[in-house]
Structures are given as structure tokens and as C-alpha cells.
């Protein structure tokens, strides 16, 4: 999601006359589009901003548009922006922690960045824009794409699930589905530009529901299954897939639609997070390990597709018995691949109030055990498919 936001932001700035560069040394404006999902990602941003501060000390002047004839150009201060989820999370605290930062902009305000840069140059002061709960659709208008043969298309933003460990609903707001006409328009224009393979993006794609245009007729609302059927009919599109799904919003009806949509890849990323019902309940995930496992059986029976997952180890109170249940579930399901994370408490979340009581050493050990198991499973699956 963040990569697509960065891409759309780059397109927006390019359309406003900015020139993109990969080199921080030559840039006048440096923007960090940030993620708050894990502590580790935030730590990297703080340290990178510290590094950039050395490139552009505070006593440098902001770049002025015109340097008077004959005048000596003063060294210029780079405009440094911390944008995205960390901006929403820490707001003006960022200016205190990093005085070198000029711009703090939340994920739903990214569209204002070109104007805010102008304001910084005009006013010579720091600027903050956070708190807008819904993104303007024009944010996606530029068709700037980094890849030549694949594109991401956002179908919904935010999430209303409030899993107890997750900061997303607090930094990106509640679920908001883009109008399906806008999505189809973006896909058609992407296909016309030569890109025929698309990934639909959302924090919980299965909860997609476009109610914007037909508020009086719920029977005409477009849900996720109807959306993928419409996308399957887009002329010129060769293939598409979607991330991320939530088990509690995933159903047999979806699997049947996946089977029937000819262009839809038969692959599903379905985070399980834990194999212990007690931990799943503490995580507020809304399903049991057995329900999850039944869902996977149904999915495989109907689509014969690939399945991948996310797992968190070391959630507060996770005992050896809970961990063993996760291990057993992984052995039973044999995912095609799995992303395994060590738990870290996130601000605002319900789980932040629980004691982070699994020692780091133990988290690392559990992380390694699951990684090794998945490596073995993936290897066996590869050998079986070759045979
Ligand atoms: S489904 Fe849960 S983990 Fe995923 S974005 Fe929503 S709150 Fe976060």
C-alpha cells in the first residue's frame, strides 16, 4: 500500500513540474513516506532522518526561486518531509524530535504536498497536515508507474477491523471503498498504457463495498465479488490478483468467483496470525484456527490455488503451548509461503495495554523455528511440482 502511495505521490509531483531524482544529494525536497506497522520500520526512518539532517543543516536558507543577478547563491536547505503513517501517528511531536523536518503530512493528505511545499518556501516555516479521514480520488489521477509490466491499483483505504495489535485503523482511518467506476477507469487507462497485469490493493479487500453512488438501493451496491467480476471483463487485461484478504470476510462464494474469473490468478494471501484460539481472541481476529483451516480446505478444493499467510510470534502471553498450536497449523496447512513477524507493541492499539512479556530471545527462537519449517515446506512443494 505504501509503495503505491509513494508512486502516486511521485506522479502527482511530476505532473506539478517537480523533477524526480533518486539522489538525496541533488534533491531540493526529500520525502519519507513511512509505515507504522512495525517498530523496526519506524526506527529506520528516525535514523535516516538524522543522516539527512547532516546533509542539510538548519542554518541553511530555503532555496529561493530566483537568485538576484550577480548575487552569491547561499547554500540551500533541503525541504525534508516525513509523510504517511508515522506523520499521522506522531503529528507535531516530529518537529520536536527532528527540528530539521519541515513537512509532516498524514496518508490522507498526501494530495496537498505540492501546495504545502509552496507554502514552506513562501512562509519559511514548518507545515503540518494530518487528520483528513478520506482521501481525494484525484490523488490517483497520474498514471505514473514504476514497473513496466505490472501495476498496483488501490480499491479501498483504511480498515475497520481493529485487530488489537494493529495501528492501521488509527493512522489510515476506517475502511473507505473507492467508487468502482474510478477503479475500472484507472485499470482501463493502465491497460491502455500497455500494462496488462494488475494487483488490487486494500488492507482488507474482501470488505470492499461501493455504496457511494447508489445510497438508496443496497441491492445495487457493488461488493468485492461483483468488483472482481467486472474487472475480469476489462478488455485487454491479461491477469490480476489481490491483497490482502481477511479470513472472517472470506467465503465459499468468493472462491467460486475466483474459480470462474478467467483472468484472476488462483492465489490467496490469507493472514492467519496464530494457530492458538486464545491468542486469536486476544488479537480480535474474529475466527478460530479450525474455521481458518476449513476455509483453506474449501479454497483449495474449489480453486486448487496457492495460499500464503502472515504469522506473528511472541504476542503478549503467547506460551509454548500456543506457539506449538501455530506450529501444528503450519504443518497441517503447508502454506506455499509465509511471512513471519516478531510482535512489537504499537501506539494507540489495544494490545499496547498488554505486557509485552515474551522475551526477545524467545521471539527470535520462535521466529527461526517457523522460518525453518516454512523453508522446508516450500522446498518440498517445489520438488513435488517439478516431479
Ligand atoms: S485487518 Fe486487522 S491487521 Fe489488517 S489492517 Fe485491518 S486492523 Fe490491521
d(CA 182, CA 114) in angstroms, rounded, equals 23
Assess whether 252 and 279 both reside in one domain: no
Q: Which residue, 286, 214, 223, is CA-closest to 253? A: 223
Look at the alpha carbons of 100, 105, 106, 111 in this order and tell me if their dihedral is positive or negative. Answer: negative
Please give the pLDDT value at position 65.
Answer: 46
Q: How far is ligand 1, taken at its centre, from the CA of residue 100, in Å?
A: 32
Site to probe by mutation for ligand 1, drawn from 204, 283, 341 as the one with most ligand atoms within 8 Å of Cβ, is 204
* Atom 4 (ligand 1) nearest CA: 203
Contacts of 268 (CB under 8 A, 6+ apart): 245, 250, 258, 299, 303, 305, 306, 307, 308
Asked which of 96, 129, 162 is the last residue of a domain, the reply is 129
pLDDT tens digit string along 199-222? 999 999 999 999 865 556 666 789
d(CA 253, CA 228) in angstroms, rounded, equals 12
Q: CA 157: distance to chain centroid?
A: 9
Assess whether 70 and 151 both reside in one domain: no
Q: Which three-class secondary structure state does DSSP give residue 331?
A: helix
| Grid cell in block for residue 380 | 518440498
Q: How far is ligand 1, taken at its centre, from the CA of residue 83, in Å?
A: 21
Assess whether 327 and 278 both reside in one domain: yes
169 lines ligand 1 (CB under 6 A): yes
Assess whether 8 and 117 both reside in one domain: yes
Assess whether 245 and 232 both reside in one domain: yes
d(CA 183, CA 178) in angstroms, rounded, equals 7
d(CA 212, CA 210) in angstroms, rounded, equals 6
Q: CA 131: distance to chain centroid?
A: 18
Domain-located, residue 138:
no
Domain-located, residue 140:
no
Assess whether 370 and 340 both reside in one domain: yes
CATH number at residue 336: 3.30.750.200
Q: CA 337: distance to chain centroid?
A: 19
Please give the pLDDT value at position 68.
Answer: 47
CATH number at residue 104: 3.40.50
Low-confidence ranges of the chain (pLDDT < 50): 64-68
Domain-located, residue 374:
yes
Q: Which residue, 29, 123, 124, is CA-closest to 82? A: 29
Q: What is the DSSP letter of 56?
A: S
Number of compact structural domains in the chain: 3
Q: CA 227: distance to chain centroid?
A: 20
167 lines ligand 1 (CB under 6 A): no
* Atom 8 (ligand 1) nearest CA: 166
Please give the pLDDT value at position 66.
Answer: 46
CATH number at residue 237: 3.30.750.210
Please give the pLDDT value at position 216.
Answer: 64
Q: How far is ligand 1, taken at its centre, from the CA of residue 76, in Å?
A: 42
Q: How far is ligand 1, taken at its centre, from the CA of residue 311, in Å?
A: 13
Q: Which three-class secondary structure state does DSSP give residue 81?
A: strand
* Atom 5 (ligand 1) nearest CA: 203
Q: Which residue, 243, 241, 333, is CA-closest to 295? A: 333
Assess whether 189 and 274 both reside in one domain: no
Domain-located, residue 135:
no
Q: What is the DSSP letter of 140?
A: G
Domain-located, residue 136:
no
295 lines ligand 1 (CB under 6 A): no
d(CA 29, CA 20) in angstroms, rounded, equals 10
Residue 233 sits in which domain range? 145-265
CA distances to 90, 248, 308 from 381, rounded to whole Å, are 44, 27, 13
Q: How far is ligand 1, taken at its centre, from the CA of residue 315, in Å?
A: 15
Assess whether 184 and 68 both reside in one domain: no
Assess whether 123 and 220 both reside in one domain: no
79 lines ligand 1 (CB under 6 A): no
Q: How far is ligand 1, taken at its centre, from the CA of residue 244, in Å?
A: 9
Assess whether 76 and 31 both reside in one domain: yes
Domain-located, residue 134:
no
Outline where DSSP puts E strands in the chain: 29-34, 61-62, 76-77, 79-84, 103-105, 127-129, 151-154, 156-157, 176-177, 197-201, 209-210, 222-223, 239-243, 267-269, 306-313, 337-342
346 lines ligand 1 (CB under 6 A): no
Upper half-sphere CA count for residue 350 (Cβ side, 13 Å): 10
Assess whether 344 and 242 both reside in one domain: no
Q: How far is ligand 1, taken at its centre, from the CA of residue 356, in Å?
A: 20
How many Cβ atoms from other residues are within 10 Å of residue 121's Cβ?
16
d(CA 166, CA 179) in angstroms, rounded, equals 26
Please give the pLDDT value at position 59.
Answer: 58
Atom of ligand 1 nearest to the CA of 162: 7
Assess whether 153 and 255 both reside in one domain: yes
pLDDT tens digit string along 159-173? 999 999 999 999 888
Domain-located, residue 344:
yes
Atom of ligand 1 nearest to the CA of 159: 6
Please give the pLDDT value at position 53.
Answer: 75
Amino acid at each position: 500500500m505504501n509503495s503505491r502511495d509513494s508512486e502516486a505521490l511521485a506522479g502527482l509531483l511530476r505532473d506539478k513540474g517537480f523533477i524526480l531524482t533518486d539522489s538525496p544529494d541533488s534533491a531540493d525536497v526529500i520525502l519519507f513516506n513511512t509505515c507504522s506497522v512495525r517498530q523496526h520500520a519506524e526506527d529506520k526512518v528516525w535514523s535516516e532522518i538524522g543522516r539527512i539532517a547532516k546533509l542539510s543543516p538548519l542554518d541553511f536558507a530555503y532555496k529561493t526561486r530566483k537568485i538576484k543577478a550577480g548575487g552569491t547563491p547561499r547554500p540551500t536547505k533541503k525541504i525534508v518531509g516525513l509523510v504517511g503513517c508515522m506523520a499521522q501517528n506522531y503529528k507535531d511531536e516530529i518537529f520536536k524530535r527532528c527540528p530539521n523536518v519541515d513537512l509532516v503530512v498524514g496518508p490522507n493528505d498526501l494530495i496537498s504536498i505540492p501546495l504545502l511545499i509552496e507554502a514552506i518556501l513562501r512562509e519559511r516555516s514548518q507545515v503540518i497536515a494530518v487528520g483528513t479521514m478520506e482521501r481525494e480520488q484525484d490523488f490517483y489521477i497520474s498514471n505514473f508507474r514504476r514497473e513496466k509490466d505490472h501495476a498496483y491499483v488501490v480499491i479501498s483505504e483504511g480498515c475497520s477491523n481493529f485487530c488489537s495489535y494493529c495501528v492501521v485503523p488509527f493512522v489510515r482511518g476506517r475502511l473507505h471503498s473507492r467508487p468502482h467506476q474510478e477503479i475500472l477507469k484507472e485499470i482501463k487507462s493502465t491497460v491502455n498504457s500497455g500494462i496488462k497485469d494488475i494487483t488490487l490493493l486494500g488492507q482488507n479487500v474482501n470488505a470492499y463495498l461501493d455504496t457511494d453512488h447508489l445510497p438508496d438501493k443496497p441491492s445495487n451496491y457493488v461488493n468485492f465479488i461483483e468488483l472482481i467480476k467486472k474487472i475480469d471483463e476489462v478488455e485487454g487485461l491479461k491477469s490480476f490478483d489481490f491483497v490482502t484478504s481477511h479470513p472472517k470476510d472470506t467465503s465459499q462464494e468468493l472462491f467460486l468467483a475466483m474459480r470462474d474469473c478467467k483472468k484472476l490468478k488462483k492465489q490467496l494471501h490469507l493472514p492467519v496470525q496464530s494457530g492458538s484460539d486464545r491468542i486469536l481472541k486476544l488479537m480480535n481476529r474474529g475466527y478460530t484456527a479450525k474455521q481458518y483451516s476449513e476455509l483453506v480446505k474449501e479454497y483449495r478444493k474449489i480453486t486448487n490455488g496457492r495460499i500464503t499467510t502472515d504469522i506473528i510470534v511472541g504476542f503478549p502471553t503467547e506460551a509454548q503451548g500456543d506457539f506449538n498450536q501455530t506450529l501444528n497449523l503450519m504443518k497441517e496447512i503447508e502454506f506455499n509461503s509465509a511471512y513471519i513477524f516478531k510482535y512489537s507493541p504499537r501506539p494507540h492499539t489495544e494490545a499496547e495495554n498488554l505486557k509485552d512479556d515474551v522475551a526477545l530471545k524467545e521471539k527470535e527462537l520462535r521466529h527461526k523455528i517457523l522460518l525453518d519449517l516454512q523453508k522446508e515446506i516450500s522446498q518440498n512443494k517445489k520438488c513435488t511440482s517439478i516431479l
